[in-house]
Structure 1
Amino acid sequence: MVEADVHKVRTFIRKEAVVRLPINTQNMQFIVATLPEAVIDFESKQPRIDSDGQPISAVGLIALGADGAEILSVKVAGQPKGLTQGSLVKVTGLLATTWQMGDRHGVSFRAEGIEPLNPPRTASAA
């Protein structure tokens, strides 16, 4: 698990049980599959914002690990900069959260940050 033991796992109870699990990304690679897009609230049709007033973006990532690859849609606060399709990125603070709505259920992913592993050079850095 990310930077910790099992005691960092938090459980929240609403109408249904929701579990948030940190994911250890140390031995994983992430590749940008789709560029960041604003997450839109289903009811209001407005961009969703987090508790700090930051817009929420979703980035499609290919997660490569020892057991294979998965494509994940990862939500992050703000608009990640410098991402290009096919580039390697660093994902920090990745959480998997279970959800249930009626008879539908699944897992969503949220990260504290997504940034390029090799940021593009600027003219002043060359």
Structure 2
Amino acid sequence: MQSIPVDVSRLGVLRCAVAPEPKIANFDTGEVKKDKEGNTVYTVGVMVRQEARRVSVIEVAVPGEQPGVVEGVEVRITGLEAFAWAMGDRHGVSFRASAITPAPARPPAAPAKGGDR
């Protein structure tokens, strides 16, 4: 499976839509997925807003717990990669990142200058 690096600077505002949850490797046994280093893999639902009101939610797999990533918080994604996959007649794109962290708080917007007439 070929990985495609994603330029996150072109994705617009990123916000956690679904808090990190351990990714299940086997639903019958409840086995949790681990990466090559033995870290639990988590899935995070990330809302991507690119243009005005257009919003998409992508699920991103990430190794280890992601402290501070909770529903509603703006996030930064490091090392985002996309993977095209196909299984029989099903196909899609999955996403993986090396880390998801809360974005630094933005300062409040300054009031508009100019006088009321």
Q: TM-score, structure 1 length as denominator?
A: 0.74
TM-superposed CA distance for 1:65, in Å, is 2.1
Alignment counterpart, residue 16 of structure 2, candidates 1, 10, 32: 32
Rounded Cα–Cα distance in structure 2 between residues aligned with 1:35 and 1:45: 19
TM-superposed CA distance for 1:45, in Å, is 2.6
Ranked by relative contact order (alpha carbons within 8 Å, sequence separation 6 or more), the top structure is 2
- Structure 1 unaligned blocks of 5 or more: 1-17, 120-126
Per-residue displacement from partner, 1:55-105 (whole Å, max 9, x unpaired)? 000000001224832100100000111112111000011001011111111
Residue number in structure 1 paired with 2:25: 41
Alignment counterpart, residue 60 of structure 1, candidates 37, 40, 45: 45
Q: TM-score, structure 2 length as denominator?
A: 0.79
Residue number in structure 1 paired with 2:35: 50
Rounded Cα–Cα distance in structure 1 between residues aligned with 2:45 and 2:95: 11
Residue number in structure 2 paired with 1:11: none
Aligned residues with identical type, % of pairs: 32
* Aligned length in residues: 102
Per-residue displacement from partner, 1:16-48 (whole Å, max 9, x unpaired)? xx3311110113221010000000112643110
